[in-house]
Amino acid sequence: MTGRGLVLLALAGLLLAVAPLVGDRYVVSVLTTVLWFAYVGQAWNVMMGFSGLLSLGHTLYVGLGAYVSAALFVHYGVGPWAGMVPAMLVAVAVGTFIGFLGFRFGVKGVHFSLLTIAFAEVARIGFDHIQWLGGSGGFFLPVEAGVSDPLNLRGSPLLFYYVILALVVGALALSRVLLHSRLGYQWLAVREEPEAAEAVGVDLFRARMTAVAVSSALTALGGVFQAFYFNNLFPEQVFSMGRSIEIILPAIVGGIGTLIGPILGAFILTPLGEALTFVLEESGFDLPGLKQLFYGVALVVIVVFRPEGVWPWLARRLRLVRQPGEGA
Amino acid sequence: MTALLTVSGLSKRFRGLKAVSNVSFEVPEGRILALIGPNGAGKTTTFNLIAGVFPPDEGTVTLKGVRLTGLKPNRVCAAGIGRTFQIVKPFGELTVEENVVVGALARERSVAVARSQARAVLERLELLDQAARPARSLTLPDRKRLEVARALATRPTLLLLDEVLAGLRPTEVDRMVEVLRELNRREGMTILMIEHVMRAVMALSDQVVVLDHGEKIAEGTPAEVVADPRVVESYLGAEEG
């Protein structure tokens, strides 16, 4: 990044840190949603953006993280700070199992994506029948008004806001460290040209498996947050295909494979949705499906005009990153 | 003279079609051996068998006495063989420097050290001024040189070059020949190259192996090979070198 880019990033961080002090409850709740999508988009980006593995079933890891941590809390009284570890481990176990199936048996490209959808769908239908977790009727975390217990992630919206903000910052930092590591270079090589990567010594299987492991673990953490923020889990929602797509849209709009892209994308899409709701309600034209229609049109416009994402374009225009040829 | 690479009795069939049939040859340490022959003679298949892209049906490949047969390409690279691709395969969205860094990381854990190694390799191949450009934006000659740079960065003991001169203009061919000769003379790099440009084969190689229909039909010094009537008939006569 250029000096200008770093200053802007620091400013944005500062703004987000003080936003709840100036904004009302509504602003905080919208920003929490934005940051959640930024976080999960960042996690998904590790697989698709860094390693070229298109997962279309990322709700699987969100859901596993959510259900595992919620079950531990409700049934055994284990708080989320401890529960997030098994939540991540379960997601990693399932993720690497899918990865193992895919990479050992040569399930590539689109077919790998289908595999990820299939597992998410199996989870959606399967969790409907696990009565221990509420089945299709939903699984609920106990809610007590006015309780402030950060150790169990129980408290005001403000608590959740700062937790998700910390997660976004953490995921961004981790992604940056990974991308500049030996592993990160190998991921990018595998994404670009697997055959050539293998010829320069990259173990394709290991590189892809680590990408799946990191991505699923991070995503599961997003699931833990979701469980304790919303306090209710329905397989139909948590594991839905639509949700999987919602997760990947910010990264696509912002710029796949970039560090800032998923965050910027979330800051474009969620407010866009909110603004559409507001405008349609105010204008009295709120027909069913109209919001989705406008939302879809806006998406098409962005993707058609900025196919590589908004961030790479913005960064070039505002000189936020070094351009090729400007030296390292 | 000790053999660095020994290929013996290598055979590969694709759906019954014999692509490579009982091919044997040795590449002596510090020498340049050229593999020539008409299109479809099995040259690239032989390369892929050595590099581990697929296993041979029969035969063995050994490097300094270590058996490589059946190893995956990444293990073959670790064993000391660096290769280029006939159809160049740059990591397009990465910069030229990053491409070569990936190569250097084959034997180096530190990214910083790998980067300085990569820059040294780029300098030798006269690509340093392009280091920050995305690899996809390079011209074909530069892409070919990038292929060589990336393979060299893995610090191989044997370099496999698959038609790195094809598609280059005569002046560019001369430049590349000069680079390869330097590598061989100054650093003792052993090279096995598939090449169609006979001028370069004559200028560079110590030894030539000729393949036709998957079989070895001749072997010898460049002068011997071009005088061989079978070679003239199957390759040189049929196709203008």
pLDDT at B238: 52
pTM for the model: 0.92
Q: Does B230 reach chain A within 8 Å, measured CB to CB?
A: no
Q: What is the least distance, in Å, from the CA of A197 to any CA of chain B? A: 8
Q: Over the stretch A182-197, which tens digit does the pLDDT of each residue have?
A: 999 999 999 999 999 9
Instruction: Report pLDDT for A117.
Output: 95
Residues A266, A267, A273, A274, Cα dihedral to 10°: 130
Per-residue model confidence as pLDDT tens digits over A203-258: 999 999 999 999 999 999 999 999 999 999 999 999 999 899 999 999 999 999 99
Report which of B40, B17, B9 is spatially closest to residue B235, judged by C-alpha positions: B40
Residue numbers in B near A200 (CB within 8 A): 77, 82, 102-103, 105-106, 150-151, 153-154
Question: Using CA atoms, how far apart are residues A270 and A275, in angstroms rounded to an integer?
Answer: 9
Give residue for tokens 């806001």.
A161
> A157-179 vs A182-192: helix axis angle to the nearest 10?
80
Which of B72, B73, B94 is closest, CB to CB, to A192?
B94
**Positive or negative: CA dihedral B200, B190, B212, B87:** negative
CB neighbours (10 Å) of residue B25? 19
For B174, other C-beta atoms within 10 Å of its C-beta total 15
Tell me, which fold does domain B1-80+157-241 have in CATH? Rossmann fold (3.40.50)
Question: What ipTM was reported for this prediction?
Answer: 0.92
Q: Which of A1-10, A19-28, B3-12 has the highest mean pLDDT?
A: B3-12
- Evaluate whether A249 touches A267 at the Cβ level (below 8 Å): no
From first to last of its 241 residues, chain B has per-residue pLDDT tens of 689 999 999 999 998 889 999 999 999 999 999 999 998 899 999 999 999 999 999 999 999 999 999 999 999 999 999 999 999 999 999 999 999 999 999 999 999 999 999 999 999 999 999 999 999 999 999 999 999 999 999 999 999 999 999 888 999 999 999 999 999 999 899 999 999 888 899 999 999 999 999 999 999 999 999 888 888 888 876 544 4
Instruction: Select from A201, A324, A327 the Cβ nearest to the Cβ of B74.
Output: A201
Task: Count the Cβ atoms, other than its own, within 10 Å of residue A10.
Answer: 10
Answer whether A196's CB lies under 8 Å from B77's CB: no
**What CATH topology corresponds to A3-317?**
ABC transporter involved in vitamin B12 uptake, BtuC (1.10.3470)
- Which candidate, B196, B186, B185, B193, places its Cα nearest to that of B241? B196
Residue pair B204/B182 in contact (Cβ under 8 Å)? The answer is: no
What confidence tens digit (pLDDT) does each residue in A111-139 have? 999 999 999 999 999 999 999 999 999 99
Q: pLDDT at position A323, please?
A: 62
* Contacting residues of B for A195, CB less than 8 Å apart: 53, 73, 85, 89
Is pLDDT at A325 greater than 50 in this prediction?
no
Nearest to B59 by CA among B30, B25, B106, B83: B25
Question: In terms of residues, how long is chain A?
Answer: 328
Distance CA B37, CA B43 (A): 7
Shortest Cα distance from A183 to chain B (angstroms)?
9
- By the 8 A CB rule, do B46 and B18 touch? no
Q: Determine the average pLDDT of the residues in A71-85.
A: 94
- Tokens read off for B191: 């090279």
Dihedral angle of Cα B138, B144, B146, B148, to the nearest 10 degrees: 180
Give strand ranges (E) for B42-153. Answer: 58-63, 66-67, 81-83
Say if CB B238 and CB B38 are below 8 A apart: yes
Closest Cβ–Cβ partner in B51, B93, B137 for A199: B51
Cβ distance of B106 and A200 shorter than 8 Å? yes
Q: A263 with A42: CB under 8 angstroms?
A: yes
The reply to whether residue A324 touches residue B133, judged by beta carbons under 8 angstroms, is yes
Question: Which residue in the set A185, A324, A328 is minimally distant from B105, CB to CB?
Answer: A185
In terms of C-beta density within 10 A (0-12 exposed, 13-18 middle, 19 or more buried), how is residue B57 classed? middle
CB contacts, 8 Å: A181 with chain B = 111
- The domain segmentation of chain A, as residue ranges, is 3-317
Q: What is the pLDDT of residue A327?
A: 40
Closest-CA residue to B52 (of B160, B165, B177): B160
Q: Which residue of B has its CA nearest to A191?
A: B91
From the list A185, A193, A197, the residue facing B98 with the nearest CB is: A185
Q: Are A122 and A256 contacting, i.e. CB atoms less than 8 angstroms apart?
A: no
Q: Do B98 and A188 touch (CB under 8 A)?
A: yes
Per-residue confidence (pLDDT) for residue A225, from 0 to 100: 97
CA–CA gap between residue A184 and residue A104 (Å, rounded)? 22
Rounded mean pLDDT of A56-76? 96
User: Which chain B residues are within 8 Å of A324, Cβ to Cβ?
Assistant: 95, 132-134, 137
Alpha helices in chain A (DSSP H): 3-22, 25-45, 51, 59-76, 80-104, 109-127, 157-179, 182-192, 194-199, 204-230, 235-238, 241-254, 261-283, 290-305, 310-317
What residue ranges of chain B are covered by domains with CATH 3.40.50.300? 1-80+157-241
Distance between CA atoms of residues A246 and A155, nearest Å: 27
C-alpha closest to that of B63 among B48, B45, B46, B51: B51
Nearest chain B residue to A187, by CA? B102
Q: Are B205 and B222 in contact (CB under 8 A)?
A: yes
Identify the closest residue of chain B to A184 by CA–CA distance: B102
Strand pairing class (B17-28; B3-14):
antiparallel
**CA–CA separation, A44 and A221 (whole Å):** 12
Write the DSSP string, A282-320: HHT---TTHHHHHHHHHHHHHHHH-TT-HHHHHHHHTT-
Q: Which residues of A touch B (CB under 8 A)?
A: 180-182, 185-186, 188-189, 192-193, 195-204, 257, 324-328
Beta bridge partners of B218: B210
Q: At what angle do helices A310-317 and A241-254 cross, to 10 degrees?
A: 20
Minimal Cβ distance to B132: which of A195, A200, A328? A328
